[in-house]
Copies of this chain bind each other. A is one copy, B any other.
Amino acid sequence: MAPEKELFPAQRVEAFCGDVLTKAGLSPEFAAIVTESLLCAELRGIQSHGVVRLETYIQRVEAGVMKMSATITTEMDAQAVALLNANNTFGQVAGYQAMKLAIDKARQYGTGVVAVKNSNHFGVAAFYAMMAQKEEMIGCVLTNSSPAMAVYGTKTPLIGTNPIAIAIPAGDHFPIVLDMSTSVVARGKIRYAALTGHGIPLGWARDPEGKPTEDAKIALKGSLEPVGGVKGSALSLIIDLVCGVLTDTILTGGVKTVTDMSGPAMTGHFFSALNVSKFIDMKLFKANVDQVVTNIKGFPPVDGGQIYMPGEIEFNLSKKRMEEGIPLDAEVVQSLNAVASRYGAAPL
């Protein structure tokens, strides 16, 4: 049986997260950024990066492996590039500042690249890519994550499901927003299959010997399959080298998952913004992106189904959830309220 879900108005969830975070010691400005990221995930239907993480983040702080509040420092700032140090505070705070800086740089230099070292889980990658898109730029965001996939040809999980998010402005249509992991599926889907006693399709994961498996429980002991096999493996490794090694944070394989309280997560991120208007008149660009979308939507769909552009399902869902509320598991609400009560915040 699926867990019971209750609908909560977005504003109520927003106020709750902001209240808990500020009472737990985060500045109102930073609390607003983290809250916006959590809400963005819930609205887009990415529950794994939503309010359920509020508890995890605070647990990390309580365990002494993450800083509630820290100043993001500048390690390097040179024309179109910069390297920020998150100093082990929220990935969202560092990510927001980094993408803002990348956008500023792109305004001046045409493009901006800002990397972040010593960071944490930063929520949904699309959040930052869309910051650039809202400024009429193309945003591209990468982050590394904890070992989940084996490098092609090996069987030991080393590289993360390291996502790529890209956002491109459009005119009347929704912006084009891709936010993809480099694995075929999220680990959560396999965990759910194992919990409910179901098998998994071949091609989702491998057993500890590196062989494809349909057994969810065995898959959890093995590794996730990279998207496109050797291609996704290479993409993930490259993201790891850019986010972990280029930022001098940690070697590939050293990032800790958000629920691993044994030490700092040592996450790294990469943000870039490209100033569209330097290349082409912005109106023409938007009109042409719109025309491409209109052309695609005019094609006959497979099996009479719907044709969705990258990000469209999430935009539709966000609109629906802004109007109707955000569905939350009773269990999640209970956990969140327990955290709130520890810091003297009102329950959800």
- Report whether A251 and B291 are in contact in the complex, using a CB–CB cutoff of 8 Å: yes
Q: For the complex, give the distance between the alpha carbons of A76 and B277 in Å.
A: 11
A288 / chain B contacts, CB cutoff of 8 Å:
245, 248, 251
- Report whether A251 and B295 are in contact in the complex, using a CB–CB cutoff of 8 Å: yes
For chain A, give the interface size range.
Answer: 35 or more
Asked if A158 CB lies within 8 Å of chain B CBs, one says yes
- Report whether A242 and B138 are in contact in the complex, using a CB–CB cutoff of 8 Å: yes
Q: A78-B110, A115-B279, A151-B307 are in contact. List 18 more A-B contacts (CB 8 A).
A: A76-B278, A78-B278, A81-B111, A153-B301, A153-B302, A158-B295, A176-B237, A178-B238, A180-B231, A210-B302, A227-B228, A227-B232, A228-B228, A230-B310, A241-B289, A241-B292, A248-B279, A252-B292
Report A's interface with B, CB cutoff 8 A.
76, 78-81, 83, 108-113, 115, 138, 150-156, 158, 166, 168, 176, 178, 180, 184, 209-211, 227-228, 230-232, 234-235, 237-238, 240-242, 245-248, 251-253, 272, 274-276, 278-280, 284-285, 288-289, 291-292, 295-296, 299-303, 305-310
Write 27 A-B pairs (CB below 8 A) sorted by A numbering.
A80-B110, A81-B111, A111-B113, A113-B274, A150-B299, A151-B296, A151-B307, A153-B302, A154-B299, A154-B300, A155-B302, A176-B237, A176-B238, A227-B227, A227-B232, A237-B309, A241-B292, A246-B280, A247-B279, A248-B284, A248-B288, A251-B288, A251-B291, A251-B292, A252-B292, A252-B295, A252-B296
